[in-house]
Each structure stands twice: as C-alpha cells, then as structure tokens.
Amino acid sequence: MPNVVGYGWYGLMAPAGTPAAIVQRLNAEANAALSDAEVRRKVEAAGLQVRGGTPAEFRAFVDSEAKKWAQVIKAANIKAE
C-alpha cells in the first residue's frame, strides 16, 4: 500500500461523557503548555512535532486515522489471532 503513511503520535484524551467544561479546560491547559518555549524546545529536541488544537480538530484526526487503518486492515486481510 504505497500511498499509506504511518507514524506515531500522542494525544490527550478524556473518558466519554466528560463534561464539556472539563474538556475545554484540559484543552486550554495543554495548549498553554505546548505554547511554552521551554516545553516546545524539549519536545522538539526529542524529535517530535508540537501541535495543539481544539477537541474537534483532534477528534477529526483520530476519526481519520481510524478510517485509514480500517481500510488498510481490510485490504491486507489482517485478522486478529
């Protein structure tokens, strides 16, 4: 599957049903931390890219990753053992 690009990523998630106000606060605090120059320097020094964003943007990303890998699994006929 030459058009499939795989890479690792990290994200902050909360359990389903977490109140929106808490999700928004966690998101604001995470984005603030990722905006800190020292945090960015350390993360980038580890070879990682820093990306903040909104909960909706992260949900869309996770959904797209799930869809992509579901297609790969189906096309490669991968089965759980």
pLDDT in tens, the chain (81 residues): 778 888 899 999 999 999 999 999 999 999 999 999 999 999 999 999 999 999 999 999 999 999 999 999 999 999 998
Instruction: Write the DSSP symbol of residue 49.
Output: -
63: CB partners within 8 A, 6+ apart: none
| CA–CA gap between residue 75 and residue 70 (Å, rounded) | 9
Dihedral over alpha carbons 42, 10, 51, 71 (to 10 degrees):
150
pTM assigned to the model: 0.82
Length of the chain: 81
